[in-house]
């Protein structure tokens, strides 16, 4: 504040000198005015020596890029976009929008597929390729997101594939978030998290089949020390295929028995949860699930189970099949940048038939150069199929968040 007042008085003083001949009748009056300004500055406790005037300058683009180069990110559970400081635009005079942050994300992989017997092929795939922007409103509690899908590999037309997220949200209610728009429902744990946050290159089989699809609706997310939940009502339509296909309810509840313990590092984090998805789209469908996880310092173990009596998932087509499966994951962080993980994943695509289960045995390494903002991925997957040939996959992946 003192520097601000000093600048104001300095500008005022300069104007007085520029128009001295018009404002005063003699040099003595100019001298008197200068002494008056000097006295007023001293009264405010502001030194008037020019060498004491410092103006904070904004960092140059080169300096900001240097900060990114030196950035050390140890948090890997949230998306860290590397160019946030450079791309974020603040609007001082806008009455509605506080800021907008453009961003882009890429997660792609090169797959070496060894099918038995003696068949080898390679292919490259985009697990996620997005660009969009997050915005914050002036009220300080509300925000919005518009996220576009840029992946060229899709059986859907451009319009149906164009949007990934289009929603507005508010955190005005303590411990709660309300989100309305086109979004990924909260059925299951892994199926609802960002593609840039899943530990392996691909999601588990129950997530790939039962979830990870966007729908239009409204949800309320609550988070307390001992419990959190995600409840939503959605249109069962997917990828804008119809105006209204039917209603869908998604509800999930987690208990955190150790949430009240102050020494969380001493005892770790335990989470036990379950939920249900029920809706109508040509037929009635229901998916139920259970989840458990324990995290202690650098170690994490989890298991998620799901059973479907019909489902409306990623394929965009409702299925009347009775299916189910589970996965369990072990993860250990060797260093803040390096983690190793293993997973067993089993899926029964149709319970009417025996001996058709699909099992995936996976091992992986994640190397976080700049947290999730720059990640290198190495996965090995052995696919054991009861009704088809087995296969081995080596997957090299890269992730960049700008």
Q: Is the pLDDT of residue 85 over 70?
A: yes
Q: What is the pLDDT of residue 151?
A: 80
Q: What is the mean pLDDT of residues 239-263?
A: 91
Q: 24-33, 184-193, 194-203, 279-288: lowest mean pLDDT where?
A: 24-33
pLDDT digits (tens, 9 = 90+) for 190-238: 999 999 999 999 999 999 999 989 999 999 999 999 999 999 999 999 8
Q: What is the pLDDT of residue 50?
A: 52
Q: Is the pLDDT of residue 346 over 80?
A: yes
In a domain, 94, yes or no: no
Q: What is the pLDDT of residue 241?
A: 83
Helix (H, G, I), strand (E, B) or coil at 207: helix
Q: Are residues 286 and 229 in the same domain?
A: yes
Q: What is the mean pLDDT of residues 99-127?
A: 87
- The DSSP annotation for 280-342 comes to EESEEEEEEEEEEEEEETTEEEEEEEEEEEEE--TTSS-EEEEEEEEEEEEEEESSSSEEEEE
Preceding omega of 259 cis (within 30 degrees of 0):
no
Q: Are residues 244 and 269 in the same domain?
A: yes
Predicted confidence band of residue 7 (pLDDT cuts 50, 70, 90): very low
Q: What is the pLDDT of residue 398?
A: 96
Q: Are residues 209 and 278 in the same domain?
A: yes
Q: What is the mean pLDDT of residues 169-177?
A: 96
In a domain, 249, yes or no: yes
In a domain, 348, yes or no: yes
Q: What is the pLDDT of residue 127?
A: 87
Q: Of 400 and 4, which is predicted with more confidence?
A: 400
Closest CA to 289 of 310, 275, 308: 275
Q: Are residues 41 and 112 in the same domain?
A: no
398 and 377 Cβ atoms separated by less than 8 Å: yes
Q: What is the pLDDT of residue 33?
A: 52
In a domain, 317, yes or no: yes
Strand partners, 58: none
In a domain, 88, yes or no: no
- Parallel, antiparallel, or unpaired: how do β-strands 283-296 and 374-385 relate? unpaired
Q: Are residues 143 and 203 in the same domain?
A: yes
Q: What is the pLDDT of residue 184?
A: 93
Q: Are residues 111 and 38 in the same domain?
A: no
Indicate the angle between helix axes 27-43 and 2-18, nearest 10 degrees. 180
Q: Is the pLDDT of residue 143 over 90?
A: yes
CATH of the domain at 209: 2.40.160.10
Q: Of 70 and 146, which is predicted with more confidence?
A: 146
In a domain, 91, yes or no: no
Q: Are residues 152 and 12 in the same domain?
A: no
Please give the residue range of the domain that contains residue 179: 63-83+105-128+136-401
Q: What is the pLDDT of residue 56?
A: 58
In a domain, 90, yes or no: no
Q: Are residues 73 and 48 in the same domain?
A: no
Domain total of the chain: 2
pLDDT digits (tens, 9 = 90+) for 30-83: 444 555 555 654 555 555 545 444 555 777 777 777 777 777 777 888 888 999
- The DSSP annotation for 74-127 comes to ---SS---TTHHHH-EE-SS-SSEEEEEEEEEEEEEEEEEEETTTEEEEEEEEE
In a domain, 338, yes or no: yes
Q: What is the mean pLDDT of residues 121-125?
A: 86
Looking at mean pLDDT, say which of 44-48, 80-84, 253-257, 266-270 comes out highest.
253-257
Q: Are residues 35 and 120 in the same domain?
A: no
- Parallel, antiparallel, or unpaired: how do β-strands 358-368 and 374-385 relate? antiparallel
What does the block give as tokens for 271?
């989470």
Q: What is the pLDDT of residue 379?
A: 97
Mean residue pLDDT across the chain = 85
Q: Are residues 67 and 48 in the same domain?
A: no
Q: What is the pLDDT of residue 117?
A: 64
Q: Is the pLDDT of residue 14 over 50?
A: no
Q: Are residues 340 and 378 in the same domain?
A: yes
Q: Of 362 and 27, which is predicted with more confidence?
A: 362
Q: Are residues 182 and 320 in the same domain?
A: yes
Helix (H, G, I), strand (E, B) or coil at 244: coil
């Amino acid at each position: 504040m003192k520097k601000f007042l000093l600048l104001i008085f300095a500008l005022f003083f300069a104007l007085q000198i520029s128009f001295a001949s018009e404002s005063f009748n003699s040099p003595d009056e100019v001298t008197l005015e200068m002494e008056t300004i000097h006295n007023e500055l001293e009264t405010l406790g502001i030194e008037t020596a020019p060498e004491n005037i410092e103006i904070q300058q904004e960092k140059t683009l080169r300096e900001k890029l240097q900060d990114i180069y030196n950035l050390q990110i140890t948090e890997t559970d949230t998306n860290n976009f590397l160019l946030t400081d450079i791309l974020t635009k603040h609007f001082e005079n806008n009455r509605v929008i506080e800021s907008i942050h453009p961003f882009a994300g890429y997660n792609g992989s090169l797959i070496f597929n060894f099918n038995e017997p003696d068949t080898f092929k390679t292919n490259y795939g985009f697990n996620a390729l997005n660009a969009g922007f997050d915005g914050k409103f002036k009220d300080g509690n509300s925000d919005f997101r518009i996220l576009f899908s840029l992946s060229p590999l899709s059986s859907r037309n451009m319009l149906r594939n164009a949007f990934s997220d289009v929603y507005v949200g508010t955190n005005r209610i303590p411990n709660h978030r309300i989100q309305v728009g086109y979004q990924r429902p909260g059925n299951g744990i892994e199926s609802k998290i960002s593609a840039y946050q899943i530990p392996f290159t691909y999601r588990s089989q129950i997530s790939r089949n039962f979830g990870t699809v966007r729908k239009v609706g409204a949800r309320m997310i609550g988070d307390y020390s001992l419990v959190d939940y995600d409840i939503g009502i959605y249109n069962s339509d997917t990828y804008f295929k119809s105006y209204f296909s039917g209603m869908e309810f998604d509800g999930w509840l987690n208990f955190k028995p150790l949430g009240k313990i102050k020494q969380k590092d001493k005892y770790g984090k335990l989470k036990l949860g379950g939920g249900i998805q029920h809706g109508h789209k040509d037929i009635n469908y229901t998916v139920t699930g259970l989840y458990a996880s324990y995290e202690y310092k650098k170690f994490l173990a989890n298991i998620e189970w799901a059973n479907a009596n019909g489902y409306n998932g990623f394929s965009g087509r409702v299925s009347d099949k009775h299916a189910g499966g589970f996965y369990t994951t072990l993860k250990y962080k060797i260093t803040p940048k390096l983690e190793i993980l293993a997973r067993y994943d089993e899926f029964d695509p149709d319970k009417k038939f025996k001996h058709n289960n699909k099992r995936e045995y996976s091992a992986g390494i994640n190397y976080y150069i700049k947290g999730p903002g720059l990640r290198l991925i190495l996965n090995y997957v052995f696919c054991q199929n009861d009704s088809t040939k087995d296969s081995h996959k080596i997957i090299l992946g890269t992730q960049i968040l700008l």
